[in-house]
Structure 1
Amino acid sequence: MSKHATVSFGDGLRLEMQKWGISVHTVEPTLYRTPISQEGRIHSALDRFWQECSEDVKKSYGDEYIKDFKTTISNHLNKAKPSEKIKEVIDDMVDAVAGNDPKTRYVPSVVTQIRAKLLSSLPENLRDHFFLSSQPQTPPAYVAERKKKQPSLVDPRSIVDKTRPPNAKLERVFSMPNWGKNEMTPSPKTDAELKFKF
């Protein structure tokens, strides 16, 4: 999320600085095995943050969720590129600063570029499914507790309305005045005034 925000900021800054003859370039690396991505260090920080949380936050998430979250982080860190590959990021940074014809946007590694293109071309629901599958699968304690106490909502499309003719479609009505032929046609004010299309 922070990387996405930084890239958006870079895009806006590039447009703003163009009039001054200043170019702005973004380098968007993925995860590499560096000291900042060491599993023990991240888990220690997470444990410290968890201890500092208020009791209502701890109760809402629950210990099982935090355990699953730590496992998810570990799985993600295991996919980090080896530290010797960090050279591809440095090369892009050097080219952005000192190259003859620097790119506006650098995404180190061809594999990462292809993956990003494929993800961006997927329909939104498939892309969401892909990202959600890499998150903790244990629901927060509050959600799990609510599911036990309360039945799930009924899909309103499954409710049959006996007052409406079969295959009838509700006409879309806008709340704004309909200005036509130099006169104002009031919008229907009650459900009884709604029309059906056949």
Structure 2
Amino acid sequence: MDKLWQETSEEVRRDYGQRYYELSRQYLRRELLKSRTEIHEVVDAMETAVLAQRPRFAYRPDGLLRAFQFRLLEIAPPVVQDAFLIRDTQPPASTLPGNRGIARG
């Protein structure tokens, strides 16, 4: 991720800001710690999805707790879904107050 950030144009790095980058790195690290260690479960689910005559709408090889969480999210009102999905995000620096001169478009 560091390499990609350094290869990104100066304009994009300025628009997003160092804080956005650092918080994104922290978020990805936390999510990786939650990811499945049994990769075959994920591959098996993908294989089933591709080969099934009648594939399911979604495959979640991530355990019962996560499946329950996502089921609750699916039936929640959109405002709750949005709050859940953006809870760990950081807006780009160019969209924050005081940085209006940087924002484009």
TM over 0.5: yes
Alpha-carbon distance, 1:126 to partner: 0.3
C-alpha distance in 1 between matches for 2:27 and 2:46: 30
Q: Is the 8 A contact 2:93 2:99 kept in 1?
A: no
C-alpha distance in 2 between matches for 1:51 and 1:93: 33
Indicate whether 1:50 and 2:2 are aligned: no
Q: Residue 41 of structure 2 corresponds to which residue in structure 1?
A: 88
Alpha-carbon distance, 1:69 to partner: 1.1
Letter in 2 for 1:141: A
For residues 91 and 53 of structure 1, do their structure 2 counterparts lie closer, same or farther at Cα, with a shift above 3 Å needed?
A: closer
Q: Residue 95 of structure 2 corresponds to which residue in structure 1?
A: 143
Q: Residue 103 of structure 2 corresponds to which residue in structure 1?
A: none
Number of residue pairs aligned between Structure 1 and Structure 2: 95
C-alpha distance in 2 between matches for 1:118 and 1:56: 40
Alpha-carbon distance, 1:66 to partner: 0.8
Q: Residue 75 of structure 2 corresponds to which residue in structure 1?
A: 121
The Cα RMSD (Å) is 2.8
Structure 1 segment 1-198 matched on structure 2, within 5 A: 46-81=1-36, 83=37, 85-89=38-42, 92=45, 96=48, 104-105=55-56, 106-108=59-61, 109-136=63-90, 139-144=91-96, 147-148=97-98
C-alpha distance in 1 between matches for 2:12 and 2:46: 41
C-alpha distance in 2 between matches for 1:149 and 1:86: 43
- Normalising by structure 2, report the TM-score: 0.68
C-alpha distance in 1 between matches for 2:23 and 2:32: 14
C-alpha distance in 1 between matches for 2:15 and 2:46: 43
Q: Which has the higher contact order (CA 8 A, sep 6+)?
A: 2
Secondary structure (helix, strand or coil) at the match of 1:75 reads helix
For residues 87 and 102 of structure 1, do their structure 2 counterparts lie closer, same or farther at Cα, with a shift above 3 Å needed?
A: farther
Secondary structure (helix, strand or coil) at the match of 2:35 reads coil
Higher share of residues assigned helix? 2
Unaligned runs of 5+ in 1: 1-45, 151-198
Q: Residue 42 of structure 1 corresponds to which residue in structure 2?
A: none
Letter in 2 for 1:104: P
C-alpha distance in 1 between matches for 2:55 and 2:11: 45
Alpha-carbon distance, 1:143 to partner: 2.2
